[in-house]
């Protein structure tokens, strides 16, 4: 498990959406933007699944993912490699669901990612 640096946390908070790359068991890739991507704590990031059936199917087969945030103008960014845990209940799920319900959006899952490696550039 890796810790997010203050620089990585700042980039995650300022740049978005994050692009999430996943692959199924056979290795077929998928990339999906996640505007809900954010820092949970020093070792975890999260995002909401609102309408991402391929991302979720891939994560069920293969929980490894990569996320990248990039500011094109400054060419600064952050890349995270990690392992996903899919949540459909609990305090975190309830809190994220309530936040999105205010915008008339239904959260199907919250994906909690344990950060295994992080790089800023």
Rounded to the nearest integer, the mean pLDDT of the chain is 97
Q: Is the pLDDT of residue 16 over 90?
A: no
**Higher-scoring residue by pLDDT: 71, 44:** 44
What pLDDT does residue 106 have?
97
Encoded tokens for 97: 């669901």
Residue 50 has pLDDT above 90, yes or no: yes
**pTM for this entry:** 0.95
Listed residue (46, 70, 54) closest to 21, CA to CA? 54
**What's the angle, vertex CA 83, arms to CA 34 and CA 52, rounded to 5?**
30
Is residue 19's pLDDT more than 90?
yes
Residues 6+ apart with CB under 8 A from 85: 63, 111, 112, 113, 114
All domains in the chain, ordered by first residue: 6-120 (2.30.110.10)
Percentages helix, strand, coil for the chain (3-state, rounded to 5) are 25, 45, 30
Angle at 80 between CA 60 and CA 87, to 5 degrees: 35
Q: Each residue of 67-91: pLDDT tens digit?
A: 999 998 899 999 999 999 999 999 9
């Amino acid at each position: 498990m890796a810790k997010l640096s203050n620089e990585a946390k700042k980039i995650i908070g300022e740049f978005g959406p994050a692009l999430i790359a996943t692959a199924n068991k056979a290795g077929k890739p998928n990339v999906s933007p996640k505007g809900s991507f954010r820092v949970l704590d020093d070792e975890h990031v999260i995002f909401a699944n609102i309408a991402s059936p391929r991302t979720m199917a891939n994560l069920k087969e293969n929980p490894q993912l990569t996320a990248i945030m990039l500011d094109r103008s400054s060419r600064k960014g952050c890349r995270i490699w990690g392992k996903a845990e899919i949540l459909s209940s609990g305090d975190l799920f309830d809190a994220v669901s309530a936040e999105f319900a205010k915008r008339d959006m239904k959260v199907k899952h919250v994906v909690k990612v344990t950060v295994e490696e992080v790089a800023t550039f």
